[in-house]
A and B are shown apart, each in its own frame.
Chain A
Amino acid sequence: MAVYKRSYKAYSGPLTPTWSRFTVLTRYGLARLFDSRMFTAYTVFCFLPFLVGLGSIYFVHSTAAQMLLGLKFGRELAINNQFFLGVLWSESWLGFVLVAWAAPGMISKDFANHSIQLYLSRPLSRAEYLVGKVSVLAALLSCTTWIPALILFGVQAEMQGNGWGWDNLWIAGAIVVAGLLWIALMSLLSMGLAVWVKWRIAATALFFGVLFFMAGFGFAVNQVLRTRWGWLLNVPQMIFIVWRSLFRMPLSLAELHHDAVPLWSAWASLLAICAFSLWLLNRRLRAREVERA
């Protein structure tokens, strides 16, 4: 096909590898998100916990800086598992807004005007479509959560020396596992909900609703039925319980009796949410619906 000829010609040039097609979705997804200045600015803001953490590590290790500012950090600011859990937790809350901003638009726009059938009429499976879209969130969230936390761990290991890094390598493992678990959960849940709502704002509202109204509902269940199992509906709480165990900060007995559910049930709750989100996606992520059933 040539513009000057205005006649159709078939394409006979090279093709990209089949396995790499999902990266097209990721690339375009990221490009579309960063078309918005607001989104770009907010993404930069998400690095605030990292910068604060970096500053903290520096000040803890730099007596000159402490003297300059007239501050003395001792046991009040120890760089340990609790510090990294705190950094990751703050990064994740900021990342949560990022997910709520990015995920519904990515999926619901494809459903709003039925362009999903065009994706799936190409050499691209439903799984690849999903992987492509999840990769956008995974890349974004990784860059703003566990990767900066891991960099902080590296900086701390370097500045502390004396084999601190090796002795506390499990913290690095905890950062990676906790980050990936959170990313998987948020990505699947936000997308699983977004495929059912064509309107982006409604999809965002539904995402917030499921997370916070469910938590409220769980609290009500606890109060009315005088039980603690209502916490299972509180997703942030379940994540926190799992993270505390990963960072070797288990719940105290008192907490277990009054406010929290056992670790196994928190894991089960999170995995059930992931499985439910995948089921939602599987039901809806199709080029054609069987409407005449």
Chain B
Amino acid sequence: MEAVIQLESLQVKLGPRIILDRLTGALSGRCIGLLGPNGSGKSTLINTLLGFYRPLSGKAKIFGKDVQENLRDLRAQIGYMPESDAFIADMSGVRFVRYMAELSGLPKSEAMERAHEAFFYVGLGEARYRKLGTYSLGMKQLAKLAQALAHGPRLLLLDEPTNGLDPEARQRMLQLVRDIRDTSEVCVLISSHLLHDIEECCDEVIILKEGKIAALCNLEEERKANLKFLELEVSSENGFLESVRSLGCECASFGAGRLKIVLPDNIEVRQLYKLAVEHSIQIRRMNYRRDSLEDIFLKAMMNGAVPANASEKAMSHGRL
């Protein structure tokens, strides 16, 4: 699968400070989450991908093309939704989106048509003739999304798309992102510090810490890998543990009937119930436990940045 974004020892320096420090990795998910605490370099990475900042060394590639060498070509394929307000207050919504689409190269009539469609798509159809300055915060966010979509990009860069939205508007925004991900060929990169947003939409995550890659993982694979990780609480461990091990499961007891079991692919949960019946013990609690994105994030924050070779390994394995 072609990498959507490829970073090759990317280093970006702003003033005297190195903001991105030798980032190396390849991201090939349909929806990529860019996570990190404030000041970790998320927005700088997006700005570098847009060509706003020139790398000190290394390269950033989008769809296999070097950003600096193919800036104009790549910008035509990118839709960007910035974090901060970005609009012309005394222009109507649809006119603004049409204007932006024309700047991306769409002829007048197509730009007009797609501006209307984009507004309906994001749910602002009724408000499209109102001036942008009169929009609420949630509407402005949706208008920013509309302008990012109108010219039909291959990659959407969304910088904190749910910032300042109420729960309902936030859900609506995330639903739109999921819809774009599922119903089109567009790849999406979402920068956020809200883990829940990323977890809901993304299949791949890059976590930055102090300008370095702290984790790079494929969420789908993480979920699959953790699917058969069980936590059990039984009335007694009498012979049960040995029987479970004889099935080929990895098993550990934490006392007082608390067990952790990793089920191999060929073992069903039903077989555990059978064993429990055979040993006349009660299973009082059973739950699948999997690493949530929060676990991954906290682990990454505690462990610090991964060394350069580790992130290369992550590239080839898709997870850390």
Contact = CB atoms under 8 A, between A and B. Distances in A.
A122 interface: yes
A113 B88 contact: yes
B84 A114 contact: yes
A288 B152 contact: no
B52 A286 contact: yes
B82 A1 contact: no
12 contacts: A7-B183, A8-B179, A12-B152, A15-B105, A15-B107, A21-B105, A24-B99, A25-B103, A115-B88, A117-B80, A123-B75, A293-B14
A176 B87 CA distance: 38
Given A3-B116, A113-B87, A121-B80, A10 B121 contact: no
Contact of A114 (B76, B86, B91, B117): B86
B310 to A, nearest CB: 28
A120 interface: yes
A65 to B, nearest CB: 47
A114 B47 contact: no
B185 interface: yes
A118 B147 contact: yes
Given A8-B184, A114-B85, 11 more contacts: A3-B116, A6-B120, A8-B179, A12-B152, A109-B88, A109-B90, A114-B82, A117-B80, A121-B50, A123-B76, A125-B72
A11 B151 contact: yes
Contacts, number: 127
A287 B186 contact: no
Contacts of A32: 91
Secondary structure of the A side of the interface? loop
B294 interface: no
Given A12-B152, A112-B89, A113-B89, A122 B100 contact: yes
Ordered nearest first, which 7 A-B pairs have the shortest CB separation? A293-B15, A11-B152, A15-B105, A121-B80, A10-B152, A1-B117, A123-B72
A21 B19 CA distance: 33
Given A7-B183, A110-B88, A117 B100 contact: no
A40 to B, nearest CB: 17
Interface string A2-25: 110011111111111010010011
B180 interface: yes
B184 A9 contact: yes
A110 B85 CA distance: 11
B121 A1 contact: yes
B103 A1 contact: no
A290 interface: yes
Given A24-B103, A115-B87, A288 B52 contact: yes
Given A3-B117, A16-B106, A288-B52, A8 B87 contact: no
Contact of A122 (B103, B154, B185): B103
A103 to B, nearest CB: 16
Contact of A293 (B16, B99, B110, B116): B16
Interface string B42-64: 00000100101100000000000
Interface in B165-201: 179-180, 183-186
Interface of A: 1-3, 6-16, 18, 21, 24-25, 28, 32, 109-110, 112-115, 117-125, 286-288, 290, 292-293
B185 A10 contact: yes
A257 B163 CA distance: 66
A289 to B, nearest CB: 10
A1 B80 contact: no
B104 interface: yes
Contact of B103 (A8, A119, A286): A119
Contacts of B116: 3
Contacts of A109: 88-90
A15 B184 contact: no
Contacts of A115: 86-88
Contacts of A290: 14-15
Contacts of B125: 3
Contacts of B73: 123
Nearest to B157: A121
Contact of B106 (A3, A7, A10, A15): A15
A15 B91 CA distance: 24
**Interface hub of B104, B154, B179 (most chain A Cβ within 10 A):** B104
B53 A288 contact: yes
Nearest to A17: B105
